Amino acid sequence: MPAADSSTPPLRPATIAVTAGRPPHTPDEPLNVPVTMASTYVAGGDLEYGRYGNPTWTAFEDALGALEGGRALAFSSGMAAITTLLDLVGHGGSVVAPRHSYSGTIAALADFEARGRLRAQLVDITDTEAVVKAMEDDEDCALLWLESPTNPALELADVATLAEHAHRLGIQVVVDNTFATPLLQQPLALGADVVVHSATKFIAGHSDVLMGALVVGTDAAEVHAALKGRRDLAGSVPGTFEAWLSLRGLRTLHVRLERASANAAELAARLREHPAVDDVRYPGFGAITSLVVHGGADAADRLVRSTALWVHATSLGGVESTFERRRRWKLEAATIPEGLVRLSVGIEDVEDLWEDLRGALDRLV
């Protein structure tokens, strides 16, 4: 990206997504950073070995960091990023986290707790006073873990208020921003210390990559160094081609998210009127919505087996529309309704999506 002087106005997010992490505008040089397939570098520089860095990772990290307003580190998966963060919690420390969270996060917390590494308090993240009290009552609390919206209940947390109280108590704040993406929410600006992304989802956007990322503030050099050191030691680094694909996906995040979000909002409104639907959960933004099917697990299972366009699959954030009954997974919270189906809305024509979904719902009535 060309250098900007002090008179250049700040770029808007859609422009950053397209331009950040590019090579200089040099005649006859490529527009994109190439895929650098290297495990070993000539000695005498900063890289030395393939586990410590790669120019293709750096381009992705520069672009995502610019969108989030911080410094990014790429990881081999979202779970690699999550467990790296949790591994930095000291022995005997505790983590306050949403009771409705990504099931991988809940599983990781349970695993760390079972091994005596930390304690986890799972709370209703929408109850700000209760979350603050949970932190105040636990003198060992080291980390407040937030999702907003939560997965799959789509609840919203007051990130700014909770971050303010956490910092007053000397507690670090992490926000999983996978659902909102940096285009709809920038947690660092709301007071978070670290942002988590499963780049597998909306950032890469085509259901063909496993990758994760962490982002810290531009002034958090010590935290960045600790996270990078842990990544280097554990070897939880991304593949070079995966990093290149994720950066390529990031370039179109704004147009994909705009279309998918419009589709999701329209579908949520229509689903509220359907007699086979007991409840619709939609936070008012983004491309994820959840519905609770009348008739519980059996009806929800029949729904996800009865469509032509909607694909019954886990994960989310691709260009295609997918859905699944979340309680089919043993790790899903028991407070999630048996009939809850999470929809990851894609970029297809909304009328085709609705006709397919409505037809399947009609057969349940």
Give the residue among 60, 79, 62, 59 at the shortest CA–CA distance from 71: 62
The residue type of 4 is A
C-alpha 322/C-alpha 308 separation (Å) is: 11
Cα angle value 250/256/257 (rounded, 5°): 95
Active site residue 201: yes
Helix H or strand E segment including 96: strand 93-98
Active site residue 5: no
Helix H or strand E segment including 10: none
Query: Exactly one of 71, 102, 193, 231 is catalytic; which is it?
Result: 102
Write out the two tokens for 269: 């409104």
Query: Exactly one of 51, 117, 230, 270 is catalytic; which is it?
Result: 51
Query: Exactly one of 62, 158, 176, 193 is catalytic; which is it?
Result: 176
Write out the two tokens for 175: 């926000």
Active site residue 176: yes
Write out the two tokens for 313: 């699959």
DSSP letter, residue 190: G
Query: Exactly one of 201, 256, 327, 342 is catalytic; which is it?
Result: 201
Residue identified by tokens 């040099």 is 26
C-alpha 163/C-alpha 147 separation (Å) is: 12
Helix H or strand E segment including 277: strand 277-281
Task: Report, as residue numbers or ranges, the catalytic residues.
Answer: 51, 102, 176, 201
